[in-house]
Each structure stands twice: as structure tokens, then as C-alpha cells.
């Protein structure tokens, strides 16, 4: 089942359960997905990776809004935004730890060296491409780049 199908299925489940916060949040996310699919010259169908990226942005947006509400002395509104962010984050893949990402980087570097490639700072792209594919959406890309640079440096 694709992520989008799971969201649609969960709308019905939240309706039946009477969970208004989750229902509203999932409907809003589905609306964002539909908007993204229909925007532009030709309609497109978002795949799971694109939906995951959109969900990450939506969760981050809500956490940022919660921070603003907290600073403005609106704890109730901040709590509502955090609740929505947590609902969205339930649909995201499990985040990787730094140690797990370092292990993935080490494996990819070893694989490239086994193929006979001489690795230097110039080969950062050759290492980043397979690592990014494996880590996609589960760890910060900037930190991945820093890990790769430290291993190659």
C-alpha cells in the first residue's frame, strides 16, 4: 500500500474513531498532496519518496509554527500544532541514528574502494549518490555530507 493510499484509508479510520485532530490533519496533508499533484502545466502522481518529502515539510512547518506560538505566549495553540506534527510524523519512516548513517557511509566507501576507485575529496559525489539513496528522508542531508567529507578527508 502506498503512503497516499494509507493516508486515505486512515481518513476513514479517524472518522469512525471520532479523532477530529487526526482527521483534520490527515485531510490537510491529502489536500497538500492533491495541490502539489495538480499544480504545474501537467498533473503528476507523487510517489512515496515525494509524499515523504512533503510530509517532512508539513511536520517541520507545524513545529516551527508551534515555536512561534510558544514565544508569543499561546501554549494552547502551540500544543495543537505539536499534536498535528506528531500525527504527520507517524507516517514518516523511522529516522536513522548518526551511527547507522556512518555505517552506511563506511560500507559505500569500502564498496567503491573494492571496485578499485581511488577516493579523495573529489569523489564526494560518487559516495553521496548511493548513500543518499539509502538514507533518503530518514536523516539530515547536510549532516550526511559532513560525515562523507570527514571520512574522505
104 in the same domain as 52: no
- To the nearest whole number, what is the mean pLDDT of the chain? 89
Separation CA 38–CA 22 (nearest Å):
24
C-alpha cell at 79: 500544543
pLDDT value for 50: 87
Place 2 in a pLDDT band, splitting at 50, 70 and 90.
Answer: confident
106 in the same domain as 39: no
84 in the same domain as 11: yes
Separation CA 68–CA 105 (nearest Å):
36
pLDDT value for 49: 81
C-alpha cell at 143: 549532516
Domain boundary at 37, 65, 89, which?
89
Total domain count, the chain: 2
Residue pointed to by grid coordinates 529516522: 95
72 in the same domain as 110: no
What's phi and psi for 109, nearest 5 deg? -65, -45
Q: Give the CATH number, domain containing residue 130.
A: 1.10.10
pLDDT in tens, 45-75: 988 888 888 998 899 899 999 999 999 999 9
C-alpha cell at 110: 569500502
64 in the same domain as 111: no
Q: Which domain holds residue 38?
A: 3-89
Residue pointed to by grid coordinates 569500502: 110
Residue 145 has pLDDT above 80, yes or no: yes
84 in the same domain as 9: yes
Separation CA 145–CA 127 (nearest Å):
9
61 in the same domain as 105: no
142 in the same domain as 114: yes
Single out the residue of 88, 131, 83 nearest to residue 111, CA to CA. Answer: 131
pLDDT in tens, 16-28: 999 999 999 999 9
9 in the same domain as 70: yes
Where is pLDDT greater, at 123 or 87? Answer: 87
Amino acid at each position: 500500500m502506498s503512503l497516499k493510499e494509507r493516508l486515505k484509508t486512515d481518513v476513514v479510520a479517524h472518522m469512525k474513531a471520532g479523532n477530529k485532530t487526526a482527521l483534520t490533519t490527515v485531510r490537510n496533508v491529502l489536500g497538500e498532496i492533491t495541490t502539489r499533484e495538480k499544480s504545474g502545466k501537467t498533473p503528476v502522481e507523487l510517489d512515496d519518496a515525494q509524499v515523504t518529502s512533503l510530509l517532512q515539510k508539513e511536520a517541520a512547518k507545524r513545529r516551527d509554527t508551534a515555536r512561534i506560538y510558544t514565544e508569543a505566549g499561546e501554549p494552547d495553540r502551540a500544543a495543537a500544532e505539536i499534536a498535528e506534527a506528531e500525527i504527520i510524523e507517524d507516517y514518516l519512516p523511522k529516522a536513522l541514528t548518526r551511527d547507522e548513517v556512518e555505517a552506511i557511509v563506511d560500507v559505500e566507501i569500502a564498496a567503491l574502494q573494492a571496485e578499485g576507485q581511488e577516493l579523495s575529496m573529489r569523489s564526494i559525489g560518487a559516495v553521496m549518490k548511493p548513500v543518499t539513496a539509502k538514507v533518503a528522508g530518514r536523516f539530515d542531508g547536510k549532516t550526511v555530507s559532513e560525515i562523507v567529507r570527514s571520512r574522505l578527508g
